[in-house]
Amino acid sequence: MDADVKQHQMKLIYDRYVRYLFIASACLMTIIILAIIIFVGQQGLRTFTEVSVSEFFFTTKWDPMEGQYGAASFIVGSLYVTLLAILLGAPLGLAGAVFMAKIAPSWLREIMRPATDLYVAIPSVVYGFVGLTIVVPFIRTQFNVSSGFGLLAAGFILAIMILPTIISISEDALRSVPRPLEEASLALGATRWQTIWKVLLPAALPGILTSIILAMARAIGETMAVQMVIGNTPQLAKSLFMPTSTLPSEIVVEMGNTPYGSAWGDSLFLMALVLLLISLGMILIIRRIAQRRLA
Amino acid sequence: MSTGSRLISPKIQDKIATGIMWLAGMVIMGILVTFLFYMLYKGVPVLSWEFITGEPSDIRAGGGVGPQLFNSFYILTLSLLFSIPLAVGAGIYLAEYAGNNRLTDMIRLSTESLATVPSIVLGLFGMIIFVNMLGMGFSIIGGALTLMLLNLPVLVRVTEESIRTVPVHYREASLALGATKWQTIYRVVLPNALPGIMTGLTLTAGRALGETAILIFTAGTTVSRQLPDFDVTAAGETLAVHMWYVMAIGLVPDRIDIANGIGALLIITILIFNLMFTIPGKLLQRKMGSSRH
């Protein structure tokens, strides 16, 4: 009897320690994200001991050998490719989500689900490589431009890469719209398309917006695929066909040549910090959308 | 729509819209199939025993990718070994213990944020912490630890979601029989959540296998001269990094062939991953689902 009680007591103590272990591993997530912000931030902000804030953000002359650190063209390049990717990819992804949620027969849906997973699983270098060997030459011959590298090639590849994000999250949002809303609309004599357009899409709007913002986060941070097709030239893009550069692609091209701790190296960490803050900002926006939906 | 409806009847609009949606669905499938087939068509002819197991060459044509293939799986395995216990622990906490409080909120926000941090930023962070501060240099261990940061948020979410799908009365039955909470989790909840966790693990492994930006500045772009080299402090270029390296910087004349071959290898591996784990996972789920009723 005594031994039984003791054994049970041991089990309960064990139970408690296991619980601490779980809490610790959960708290590790917070520690990691804080460490990323602090270390990347600290390394990046050192740039400002040698470079002025306005030079970094508002000038486009990038020539670290000559001590010029104007990163505006990379920031603008990142924003351009992201917007282009959304313009090209979001309508297709949304239409695909509507198709999967409401129109496709169930056997086709069963095929398309794992297919969207495969989209995610294709490595970004493979996207970049296909961009380099198909899209860039295609743009070169089709639009009769000198290189084919540039915003359009990057935006096109990114548009494909963000499809799974938009499709899966929007589809979830569409499917979670309560059935009675849809039935009421159909019962009033609306066609399926009228129901989708006037009832389902507005009701699923918060989820759709979330999917688009997450897609933007993926596009702005994409490194390898963009680096392979954008042309990597530090200049402000004035057309869709002009080689330019983005924050991540510039980091990956230059990091290997820069001594760790130099102003040049630090400025690349500053670019990483800008990227980090943009993606954290997007998470906050998504949270706001989710809260409004609950309210 | 309001002006259009006068010109075209709603019925016809419905037909047109349905057609467009079908087209979108087919285009989406078409792009995927094109990508897969293009890469296999171009790459499979390159694949030979010499290519898959051979030493890479820096300047001459005819190099293989043996060490890179080994490093890819070695780094992937290590990173999963590091991330699975942590992620499952955090997932269990969020699903089973977490109350509705500040701490939970903060952990959720952190996990979501970590999931959106661009991989190049994770790579630079790994470079600061593991490569420089902890003095690991460009190494397999540095790469695996940084890659862990990419795996964690996805695995945490998948674990939490899978655990939440286990019916409450399973837990109640176990607790009512006198099992402690941990016994319940270990003996009842986790086995039932396993199919979902396995599916998530496959997706994570596929993503980690093709990851490049994180590994360039943590595992490096060179390989050890020995094969296989289990030394975790050796530099460990992976397949995906090598594919990027030969295209962006490499000097070998047959770089397009090498890249095609690696592309095919990566695609084949990912297809096998998905077929091997996802489908048995789904079948298992279905079987257990049917026995439930």
Q: What percent of chain A has pLDDT over 90?
A: 48
CB contact under 8 A, A21 and B122: no
> Is A65 or B158 the better-scoring residue by pLDDT?
B158
Structure tokens at B176: 């009512």
pLDDT digits (tens, 9 = 90+) for B157-205: 999 999 998 888 888 888 888 888 888 888 888 888 888 888 888 888 9
CB contact under 8 A, A282 and B117: no
Give the pLDDT score at B291: 44
pLDDT digits (tens, 9 = 90+) for B35-87: 999 999 998 988 888 888 888 877 777 778 888 898 999 999 999 999 999 99
> Is A194 or B281 the better-scoring residue by pLDDT?
A194
Rounded CA separation A209/B276 (Å): 34
Q: Can you give the residue ranges of every domain in chain A?
A: 2-49, 54-294
Give the pLDDT score at B29: 95
Nearest by CB to B21, which of A36, A99, A287? A99
Nearest chain B residue (CA) to A39:
B125
Give the pLDDT score at B281: 58
Nearest chain A residue (CA) to B35:
A130
- pLDDT range class, residue B235, cuts 50, 70, 90: confident
ipTM associated with this complex: 0.91
Rounded CA separation B240/A125 (Å): 7
- pLDDT range class, residue A295, cuts 50, 70, 90: low
Rounded CA separation A154/A227 (Å): 8
Q: Which conformational region is residue B231 in: left (phi greater than 0), alpha (psi within -120 to 50 degrees), or beta? A: beta
pLDDT digits (tens, 9 = 90+) for A81-90: 999 999 999 9
* Nearest Cα to Cα of residue A90 among A152, A202, A170: A170
Structure tokens at B29: 């499938």
- pLDDT range class, residue B287, cuts 50, 70, 90: low
Give the pLDDT score at B292: 42
**Residue A41: exposed, middle, or buried by beta-carbon count in 10 A (0-12, 13-18, 19+)?**
middle
Query: Is residue B289 over pLDDT 60?
Result: no
Give the pLDDT score at A5: 82
CB contact under 8 A, B120 and A221: yes
What is the dotted CATH code of the domain comprising B49-292? 1.10.3720.10
Q: What percent of chain A has pLDDT over 70?
A: 99
pLDDT averaged over chain A?
A: 89
Residue B161's CB is within 10 A of a number of other CB atoms, namely: 16
Residues 64-123 of A with CB under 8 A from B: 92-93, 95-96, 98-100, 103-104, 108, 111-112, 114-115, 117-123
- pLDDT range class, residue A174, cuts 50, 70, 90: very high
Place of tokens 């009365």: B169
Query: Is residue A113 over pLDDT 50?
Result: yes
**Residue A176: exposed, middle, or buried by beta-carbon count in 10 A (0-12, 13-18, 19+)?**
exposed
CA max distance for chain A: 89
Contacts of A11 (CB under 8 A, 6+ apart): B180, B183
What is the Cα Rg of chain B in Å?
A: 24
CB contact under 8 A, B97 and A251: no
Residues 155-214 of A with CB under 8 A from B: 160, 163, 167, 190-194, 196-197, 214
Query: Is residue B276 over pLDDT 80?
Result: no
pLDDT digits (tens, 9 = 90+) for B117-168: 999 999 999 999 999 889 888 889 999 999 999 999 999 999 999 999 888 8
pLDDT digits (tens, 9 = 90+) for A176-224: 999 898 889 999 988 888 899 999 999 999 999 999 999 999 999 999 9
Rounded CA separation A26/A46 (Å): 31
pLDDT digits (tens, 9 = 90+) for B7-22: 778 888 889 999 999 9
- The stretch A225-237 carries a mean pLDDT of 86
Place of tokens 């095919």: B264
Give the pLDDT score at B73: 92
> Is A28 or A240 the better-scoring residue by pLDDT?
A28
- pLDDT range class, residue B278, cuts 50, 70, 90: low
Give the pLDDT score at B277: 65
CB contact under 8 A, A39 and B129: yes
CA B220 → CA A221, B25, B71, B148, distances in Å? 20, 40, 11, 16
Do B152 and B114 meet the contact criterion of CB atoms below 8 Å apart?
yes
Give the pLDDT score at A53: 87
CB contact under 8 A, B182 and A128: no
pLDDT averaged over chain B?
A: 86
- The stretch A227-250 carries a mean pLDDT of 86
Q: Which CATH class name applies to A54-294?
A: mainly alpha
Query: Is residue B1 over pLDDT 50?
Result: no
Phi, psi of A230 (to 5 degrees): -90, -15
* Nearest Cα to Cα of residue B209 among A249, A132, A253, A124: A124
Give the pLDDT score at B293: 38
Contacts of B152 (CB under 8 A, 6+ apart): A29, A32, B83, B86, B87, B90, B111, B114
